[in-house]
Structures are given as C-alpha cells and as structure tokens.
Structure 1
C-alpha cells in the first residue's frame, strides 16, 4: 500500500471506531458485535504498528473507552482505571508471558473470568460506603453513588472500620435478569437493550435510583485500587481479604506460574461459560505479585502486567428443521428457526431468531437449509449464513394471517415488522391491558403490570372491558393484594369511567395515535360515534394529522372486535364524550411550539396544555415550520437545531410574559 492509501484507511478506521465506541460506551446502544469491533480495532493497531509516524495523539488506540456524561457529577480517579490489552489467540498469551518474563523473574499469574458489564470504583471511609463512580475515560468518571446503593450485593458497611478502601468491580446483569428485563420492556413498548452489558450500563446511569433498583443489578469486585490501614503483597491475598469483608469476588480463579496451565484453565472457563448466570466474554490474566506489577508498569493505555483473552465467536454448521411464527405482545410476527441441536459457547442451541422477512429473504433462509450458527458473547444465537439449499427447499414467506387469531397482518410502509391488525388478538392481550391502564391512557392507579399478569394468568381478564366487571372479592384473592388494596383498585377502575374521551381513544392502542393525536382527534370529533363514523378524508383534515394516521383510525374501527369492545365499554358506563374545550385565548393561534429540557415550574404536559388552550400547537421535532422552541435545563439537540435554523427560543418566564401580555 502507498502511504496515501494507508492514511486514508487509518482515518476511516479511527472514525468508525470512535463512532462505535460512542454507541457502545456512552449511548449503551451498540450497532455491531464485539467481534466486529475488535476486528476494526486490531486492524488499526496493525497499521499503526507498521507506520508509527502516522499515529495521532487522539487515536482510539491511545484512549480508554468511554466518556463522561453531563448527567452526573464528575469524579477524578486518583488511581487511573486502566483498560486491558486484548489477546485473541493462545499464542498471543504466550507472547504476553514472554514479555513479562523478560522484565521480572519467575512470575506467578492469576486468571479470572472477564465479566461483561460496567466497570466501577467503590470507596469506603471508616468501613462505610461513601462513593461509587463509573470508569468513564479512565481518569474521569461519573458519580453514581445513589444508584450503586440500590445494588443488593454492594456492602454498605464493612465488618471492620478500615480508614480508607477503594476497590474496583464490574456491575452486571445476570442472563436470567436480562431476559426478564427484555420481556418487561417489550410489554411496556420500550426499546429493549441489545445485550446484558448495555442493560447494566443503561440501568446504572438512570437519573432515578428507583429505576436502577428495579433492574436487579449485581456486582463482582476484583481489584483493590488503593487503601489506608491495609497492606497487600499479592492479588490472591487481596481477593481473599475482600471476600472476608463481604465483597462478592470472582467465584472462580486459578493461580499458576505455568502459562500452559493458565491457558488450560482459560479453555475450561470457555467450555463452561454457558453454565454461568453471569455474562463473560473472556478471561483476564494478571501478574499476582504487586511488586512485580510495579516493575512492569503501564503503557499510555494498558498495564503491562495484565492481559485480557477474548473468546472467539463460535460457529457451527447445522440444518434448519422448521420455522415457527410467534406473535409478540406488540403484535409483531417473529420467525424463529428450529435447528438440529449444536453446542455453542457451552450451551446446547436448537433455536435462534430469524428477525423478519427481510432477513430471511436476504440470506435466502429456507426450511431444510444448511446454515452457520454463531454465538459471539450474546444471549441469543444468530444465523450467519446459508451454506446450502437442497433442491427440494422453497423460499419462505411469512403468513398473510395471524397464527394467533386468524386476522389479516400488515407491514406498514418503511417498517421491517409484520404486525397483526386485530386489536383484540389474544397474543397481545397483556401488552394492551398495560397500555390501557397506563397514566396517559385510562390512568388506573394501582393497576400495574404485575397485577395485570396475575389477572390474565388466572383467566379473570381477557379484554379491557373485563376490568370494569371485577369485584373486590376477586381482587382480594390475588397474591399480595389485601382487602383494602382491592377496594382502592376497584375505586380507581370506577373513577376511570369518567375520563375524557381522548384518554379512551389513546387507551385503545390505535397504531400511530399517541396521547397528543388523540386530543386533536377528539377536539374535531367530540364523541366516539363521530370518531368511528369519520372518513379518512375528514380525519386527514385535522391540523397535525396526516394520511397515515387517518388510515390507521379507519382501519382500526373497521374490525368488528374493536367496535364490540367500544360497545361493551359504553354499556359498562365508560364515558364516550369529549369535554367541551375551553380556550383561554388565541394568542398562539397558528403558532407551532417544540418543548425541550426541564422547565423550572411547569411539567411538559402542563406547558403543552397551556399552549394548546391558547390556540397553539405542540410538536415533537424542530423544523422550519416551528415558531418557538420552549427550552428548559439540559435542552439537548433540539435547541442546537433551533439555533441553526434561527428559530426563536423562549424560557418559561418569557412564555408566561407573552400569555400575560
């Protein structure tokens, strides 16, 4: 390669790696697998090694992964939280051993699992937990003390009043906990995390510690960063002392001065990793003696006394025996492949998601295909490629009707998902009930996912209308539901009957019709009868509506099951009329507002209603048609776009001044 080509490839690699590092470490939303990221990183290292004159100070190879959010207070790490250099083969571990032996005599090693979570530091003063922080860029992290306090396995007080102790650990989400979290996110129509590592990172960075507490995070502590009042000479001694103090330390580790024995233990961890309930993506080899660690020192980025071994993604060839179609709680039809069982990453794999029709068509996956399955540190295995399609196989197409209820399915323009169009599909029941009872919908206080799961499991509710037929006696018999709680819940259900029509319209779960759209709809069509009888052309004339939204409403009420549900609710006393709209004024007539950030006194909902009552319109994104951006604290990218487009930006105080003339 000529030098210009090398420079171009280096620039492209650095840009790609920075982008994917930001998605992985900062946004907790990776777009590529660890294996693909490692390939990019290794290629960058190779080129920089061959052309050292082209290495830049800001290269990703000179930076510790991660960044500091502005959400939390900054913490400066007195002892840097370094990252580790990665090895991808056993020969590279032998090279690490050779380099260590050239610098120190007769080294002894400790090997531990490499946990796949978020690295944190815990500080204790006089034996009491005082502060917790993320690694960040290795020198500056985020203060997440209150969130770490919610982790059950973090000791809050040590059995001994050690003057000062700082330890390093990895916050993680167990495989079983990750699966439960994804199920709950699907129920609440939230974007699910892609893997346990990102789930742990996203959970620890929540502004509300209650959300962190609900996620079931755990921790392993694997290093002493600094201490006063304790002295250690080697790593295994420190681990045992941490165990005595009540810290959860790595459940398995091995000590040896023979690198071949270390490598053998790494193989054993790899073979058994499918049996563990905690996510690991490799193993870490560390020099045991602290005095030898000091001799070895560190590079600009990595300690020379430790090496991480990353397990390569396992790939196996097998046969696709069948494709099952499952209907998710959001109505999406998901194809799942059933395979001849193979062993991947220590577990027997016989099923893998095939995602959607586009995935199946692109790879030409058929029943009877010989395929390559891979499991690269993720919970769910994936089909990498099709090796062969025997002559008797035929292309696979998702069905035209729902396997659960037999109603037609549709694929909205621009979406990959195929959905059941039946609002009363049994497979979607629990998700519909959760949405129906949610705050912006019917706002039934106390009727959360846990109770609704019990009600559906016991067969007590098979439709939102059934909620209005429940009795105190029925509810009192549920788990963790006493007489008083049952009475309160029945009162909340009865109270919801008086809600304004727009809440009911939103609660029905019409695709593309959010809470704001439901309000706009009911202003123009102030009764359920008028909403149902409106044509798509009439609906499209609503200010803020479009053709897609209009068609979705008409399509929804074209189903007999939807109209039957409305009739049942009406018969049970649920309000079907919109309240008369009192417009306070028309000062904002024809003006479009976008809200961003946290306002000092008004909630976003209150500010939106205030603007709408005075003739204005509130939308979610900034465009040239936006009249004003109402900005509070931490406004984000919407404010940047407003400034770029030259759109007027208002504070809450300025908004109130306009209203007061």
Structure 2
C-alpha cells in the first residue's frame, strides 16, 4: 500500500483531501468485496483505512463527509441477494485498547446503574472472532432465514448458503417459537491453507486471509460453491426471541449450546475488571495456537435485565465493549517536537519522527498529548514510562493505538544523547504570541488570544459553517480561508457572514469579479446565507464551537430551555456558578460541571458575548421541539430527586423523567411540582414540606409513571 501521512501532520486542506481519498478507496473496496466477491485489498488494510478515516474525522470533525464510512455499521447489501430487514438491529461494539479503558467501562456501568444494582454485577468474556456476522432465524425450530449483518439494519438473504454450513443446525428442538441466533462465520487456519492450495492447483484466485475467504464463500450466489468451502460458525448472541433464553448472558450461551450450536469454550464469567483483564491475557497468550483468527476479547454485562436497563447509544450498547489486542511496536528517533494550536486554543505537542513502519503503515509523527505526558506523568501526577521524560534526539518506542493514532510508549535511556536537554513547554502561543495558560485541573495549556489568534479564529469559523452546524451551501472551509483575509469582504466572526451581501453593495460588484466567482455563484451564495437566517436552536449553539459542548449536548440544552432567550437568561443568572439557575443547568442529564462552566464562561466573557449577540441579531432562532409526552402525568412538571434511590440510579431517574416531558431541577423552589425523596433526603424534603410541594417516595414515583 502507498505511504500514508500521519493524521497529526495533516493541515485542514490535506485532511479534506485525505477523507475524500479514503471515502473513494473504501467505497471501491466495499464494492469489490461485497458485490464482486473479489477483494482488492487485505482485511487488515481495509480496517486500517477505515480506522484512519475515523481518526481524521475525530481530529477534524467539521470535515466529516455525508458519505462517511464511519456511519456504516457494516456495508450496503449487494444487489445480488434479496434484502432482509433485521427485526433487531445488528450493532457494532465500542472498543477498549488499554486496561484502563476496561476499568473505565466498568465504572461507567456501575455509575449508570447505581450501587443497589451492582452489588452482584458480573461480566462474561469471550474471544472476538474475526469473521463475518450471520443471523439465523428459526420458526417452530426450523431454520427459515439466514442474513448477513449488511448495514446493521438490512442484510443479505443467504439462507441457501447457510444450510450448507455443518455448524448451523437446520432444526432446533425445544427452542422458543421464534429464535434468532447470531454469531460469526469463520474459517480455521488449517482449512484456509488447504483451500488456498486447492485454489492454486486449479488455477483459481487465492484468498488474502481467512476472514476474506469466509466472507467470499458465504456470499456465493451458487450455494454449491459455499458447500465446497470449509466454513464454521460460533454462536454468541441472539436477536428476536418469542421467549427469553435465560436470565444471564452465560446461561443463554449455554442454552444455545444445548440447542446444538457451537459456542466458544473460552467464554467465561467474572466479577471484577481485574479478572476480565487476566482472562484477556490468557486468551492473548493462546492466540497463536487457537487455530482461528481473533482480534480481541468481548466483555458483556452478564445479567440480561441489567443489559436492558443500560440500553444503547446510537450505534453501540452500553453493556458491552471489545478489548482489542495491542498494535505493533517499533523503535525510531525523535527528531523534533512541534506545537499545533487548535480551534479551542489548545497547544498540542506533536513528535516528528524518523519514518518507521508500524503495523504496515509508515509513521513519521506521533501525539505527545500534553506537557505532563512529555515530562513522564499522567493527569493525576502518577508516573508513566517509569517517569522517563521525552527529549528531542531520544530513541523512542512507537505504537499505534487502535492501529490508527501513533503514540510513544517508551524511551531507551541507554541511547539518549549525552548533550540532550529537557523539553521546555512554551508559555506563549506560537501563532499569535499571546500567553498560553494552564488552568487548575486542566492537563492542557491554552492560548488566551481567542478571536485574535489566527489558529482559533479561522478554525472556529470553519466549525461554524460545518455540515452539522450552519451548513451553508457554497460556504465551506475553503471559502472561509478565502474570505478570512479579504480586504473588502472579510469574515472574521460569524456575524460577518450575514453582512456579506450588504458589504458587497448588494449588486455582487466585489465578489463576482474574484477568481472562481461570477454573478450567478455570488447570487447563489447570498441566497444560501439568507436561507440560514432561520435556523434551529440546537444547531446555533453547536455552531459556536464552545469547548466541551458538542452536538448532543447542544440539543439537550435546546430541548431543556426551549428558546435562545431562555438559555441566555439562565446563563446570565448562573455567572457566579451558584444559585437556582446554576443548579438547574447541572441538573440536566448529560450536562456535567466542566461543560456547564465552559458554557457559562463563554457567555460571560465580554468579547465572545459581543460576537454571539452580534450573530443572534441576524437570526431567527427557532424554538426547540420537545419530545412527545402525550399521556404523561408529569409532562410540564418540575421534578426534584433527593436522597438515595434504591431501584435506579439518579442518572437513570433523571433521564426517565425528562423522556416523559418533566423538567428535572436540582433544588426545591416554589416552582417545584414533585419531590421524589429516598432515604437521607435531608433539607430538600424539609423545604418541600414548608412550601407544600408534593412529596413521593421512590415506589410511589414508579407507580405514577408505570407503563409509560
């Protein structure tokens, strides 16, 4: 494969070009793999490209394409097969790459469920098979349909082919009336080698790896070809069921085994993250001798009732995670440390390396995170790399986290140059020479130049016009760069966009004469700008690029406050980070204190507020449409939770109340309608009694909302 530039070295222009290239390559690879059944790249190369695409999008979220490969769970079904709509979507899993990620996964699960639900929390751990996902549907014990994952919602009908796989039972005794069994079709190493020998002897195409061989074999239009291929199947999950298989994940897997499905013998149950990681190490040690490909270990909450409570994010479950095996390592020379300034002012150090191949990709740059990381410490002051600092000229060990973003794992002190000196992190912004300060508790040093800092101003504007923000047709990152330094039509802040036509004298005399522009294109741009004067609340807030306030949080805030005016009033009242308005902001599920402080701080800052107000003056900001709460007894009511909830966590209770149209507040006032009080309610219960606020215990609250 051709040499790739590292993500951290890309400029926005290069990133946009690279995303276009990756989108084209992945689309062609998908077509070759899924439609022509003739992969033109290895599975490893494909995965590397897809992960590279995702990492660039994470670094440059404004540049994400509408046809982004990251939005696909699988791949679009081929026209060669009829389509099957999955009764239960086949979603992907979130990934863990380090032991700490597993511990954090456990902490998130426990935090969401609450202490009363996690006393007996357990997990299953099973090998992550590197094959092709397959869903088998049985009705009255008979296999009636088999489908590939496809795009997660719709797959390909491969029923005739599935009938030929020895590990797939055609009849299942004592099963529920409707049973969808899900698992992975794969090919063993020995069978793969034998197949390729036969292919070579017959003058046919050989396969790149076992996964490609399994996928290509399953997706044959002629089932006889599939029958001639040595496919195997591990069952590990299920879709639609007419009756539960068991109360636990492990019990359900054992039930599948009783039905006659092959399940993985390395699947086990554990109580603690440390035990999960120990099992991961054990499986990793056996990896080369298993006889089939795996690329990690999957952890799942064992209780199916808790899985149901935890639910799903947009594309991944909260109750499961895939712990991937580590990427390859390589040693090379650190030639320089450069500082890049992001749109939030963050100073990010980047290691410039002597080029080295890691995991099949040439790496010449690596992230250094922040100044503490360079010094050899983590965010809590603990040592990393045994406290060894990183210096220019050092011999460093590089690895690729998730096989995408290169990082430095270690330093070889024996090869450190005698004249090396400690790296001194700059306290001035390299772009505008403003002070670069580090707030207490923050691991990152930031430029305080704001809009006067070219790196921040331009990137903030690019974010403002991004697809998920204002999305003005004809005004993207490229045009922002053109207008930014324009002597007559400068766009230096968002409000300038909406004065562009007036500054062009209204007759396109200035813009139409520029290279690449004409009367029609100028008219089209001004029309597109006019269309965006009327815009949704959530989009406006997200477009401002406020630190910590992403798209989801912007929509949460819009739904909570309803109107832009209400948000501004609340944030003005919360300036001192105290009082009812501050408590209300913190009470919104999904809005933490760090995000809240960032939001309040921006609206309280003179220059930023002037810029925001100037923008709003040009807009008709639409009120947010709140979720439907028809029939809800708590719709429109203000609810406060206090004390210890025993049957659900505070986060779960808040989310449930808000989904029913209630407004959840953090403190009791005359506007409070219901106080839900658990043991240890304290002063809030007393205040509610003094104000005559209706007070319910947890059981009464659950009875009130039962069935909704």
Do the structures match in fold with TM over 0.5? no
Query: Which interval holds the TM-score relative to the shorter structure?
Result: 0.3 to 0.5
